């Protein structure tokens, strides 16, 4: 039996006296400092900047899914300046400027004729996804459409009606590149009313003039711009006979003279030679080779003779005879009811082209995108951008947490 501890001895579980208490081994360690205030401020600023950058997508995702009807594109986007130009077709204003402003960055619908000649096919590098990019005729190149669906549904191909998101070109991140590409690589053919071009020539005085084409689009022409003028040859008919039935000019001439006609001029129009890999077999000429003659018939026999010639073979082409002149705008003069072409030879008399004998005047011009242009992104629905709202909400919470931590840190300090 052991002796009990003396009263002065401490039991094992008793706390040590103050004089014998060990030192705190963590007392000299400094607490971890918080983040620098600049880091929290920078993180919050970055989050808010991203939210500001996608504010358009946020607004669009929360907008109505019912399209705003903008009516005819030529009337809505054509502009007031074009309707006062010579030869412009009458315009009816479809919507007000305020309505168009409210329709920006909204889901809209519009009707118009696409310019398929100057349309582009876009593809994303690294993927076989192709989209279309084209302008709408009659709008002065103020409305373009980005058609994203591929393949295109049949009902969209059958009607010239477009639905999608309407945004300004100035709000696009790739605005500069697409403007530069259009101006240097994309051209469109413009047809002018002969009398409208004559009035523009009368006002030009050697300077740049604006002429409205038959689609209603204004086109700027300078003195050195080249024009192709089709001149009708009165009372003459162009007949193209297929070579598989008419081997030489004598056979074609005989058919014309048999019906009381006179051959004015003859020649051959053949297709360009095909590559060797697709060249036709020997002895089989290309199907679009023609023997071409210009013929004149008596007025009383004209219709019946052309009907008989057309019945010989369905491949025979019958057209009005024309010749094409390529002249520069600076070489044209106003001749009242005609255009005068100044010849290259000094002192020579100008050639007179009656307006009534000019079926077409055309030129090829680059597609310029004006400053006030719009882009309609087809099949871009508002609810497709709801993920942007979720993303913005997360960023907003992140910014709020950083700002709250910044305020608490400043209070402690």
**390/393 Cα distance (integer angstroms):** 5
Matching residue, tokens 């030679």: 273
258: left (phi over 0), alpha (psi -120 to 50) or beta: alpha
Tens digit of each residue's pLDDT (9 = 90 or more) over 150-202:
777 777 777 889 999 999 998 888 889 999 999 899 999 999 999 999 999 88
For 57, the enclosing helix (H) or strand (E) is helix 55-61
Residue 302 half-sphere exposure, CB side, CA atoms within 13 Å? 14
Predicted model pTM:
0.72
Rounded CA-CA distance 78/137 in Å is: 9
The DSSP line for 136-182 is BTTSTT-EEEEE--SSPPHHHHHS-EEEEEEEEGGG-TTHHHHHHHH
Q: Mean pLDDT, 10 residues at a time, over the chain (413 residues)?
A: 54 55 63 71 92 93 93 81 41 61 92 91 78 91 90 80 93 89 91 92 83 90 92 90 86 90 69 40 48 90 91 90 91 90 80 91 91 92 94 94 85 74
Which residues make beta-bridge pairs with 219?
211
For the chain, give every domain's residue range: 37-62+387-412
Query: How do residues 282-311 score in pLDDT, each as one tens digit?
Result: 333 344 578 888 999 998 989 999 999 999
End-to-end CA distance of the chain: 63
């Amino acid at each position: 039996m052991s002796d009990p501890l003396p009263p002065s001895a401490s039991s094992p579980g008793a706390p040590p006296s103050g004089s014998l208490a060990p030192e705190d081994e963590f007392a000299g360690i400094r607490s971890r400092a918080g983040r620098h205030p600049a880091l929290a401020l920078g993180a919050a600023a970055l989050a808010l900047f991203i939210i500001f950058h996608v504010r358009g997508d946020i607004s669009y995702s929360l907008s109505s899914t019912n399209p705003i009807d903008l009516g005819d594109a030529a009337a809505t986007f054509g502009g007031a300046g074009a309707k006062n130009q010579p030869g412009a077709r009458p315009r009816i204003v479809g919507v007000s400027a305020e309505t168009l402003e409210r329709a920006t960055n909204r889901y809209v619908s519009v009707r118009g004729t696409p310019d398929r000649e100057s349309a582009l096919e876009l593809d994303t590098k690294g993927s076989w996804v192709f989209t279309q990019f084209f302008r709408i005729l009659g709008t002065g190149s103020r409305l373009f459409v980005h058609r994203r669906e591929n393949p295109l549904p049949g009902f969209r191909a059958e009607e010239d009606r477009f639905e999608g998101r309407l945004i300004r070109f100035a709000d696009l991140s790739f605005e500069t590149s697409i403007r530069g590409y259009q101006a240097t690589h994309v051209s469109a053919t413009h047809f002018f009313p002969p009398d409208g071009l004559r009035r523009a020539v009368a006002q030009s005085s050697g300077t740049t003039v604006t002429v409205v084409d038959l689609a209603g689009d204004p086109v700027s022409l300078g003195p050195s711009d080249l024009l192709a003028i089709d001149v009708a040859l009165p009372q003459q008919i162009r007949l193209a006979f297929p070579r598989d039935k008419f081997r030489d000019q004598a056979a074609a001439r005989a058919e014309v003279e048999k019906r009381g006609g006179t051959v004015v001029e003859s020649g051959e129009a053949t297709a360009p030679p095909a590559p060797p890999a697709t060249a036709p077999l020997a002895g089989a000429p290309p199907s679009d080779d023609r023997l071409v003659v210009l013929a004149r018939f008596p007025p009383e026999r004209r219709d019946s003779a052309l009907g008989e010639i057309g019945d010989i073979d369905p491949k025979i082409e019958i057209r009005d005879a024309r010749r094409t002149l390529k002249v520069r705008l600076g070489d044209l003069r106003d001749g009242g009811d005609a255009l005068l072409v100044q010849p290259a030879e000094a002192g020579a008399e100008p050639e007179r082209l009656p307006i009534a004998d000019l079926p077409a005047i055309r030129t090829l011009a680059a597609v310029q995108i004006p400053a006030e242009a719009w882009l309609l992104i087809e099949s871009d629905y508002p609810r497709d951008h709801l993920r942007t709202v979720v993303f913005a909400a997360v960023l907003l919470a992140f910014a709020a947490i950083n700002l709250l931590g910044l305020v608490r840190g400043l209070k402690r300090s």
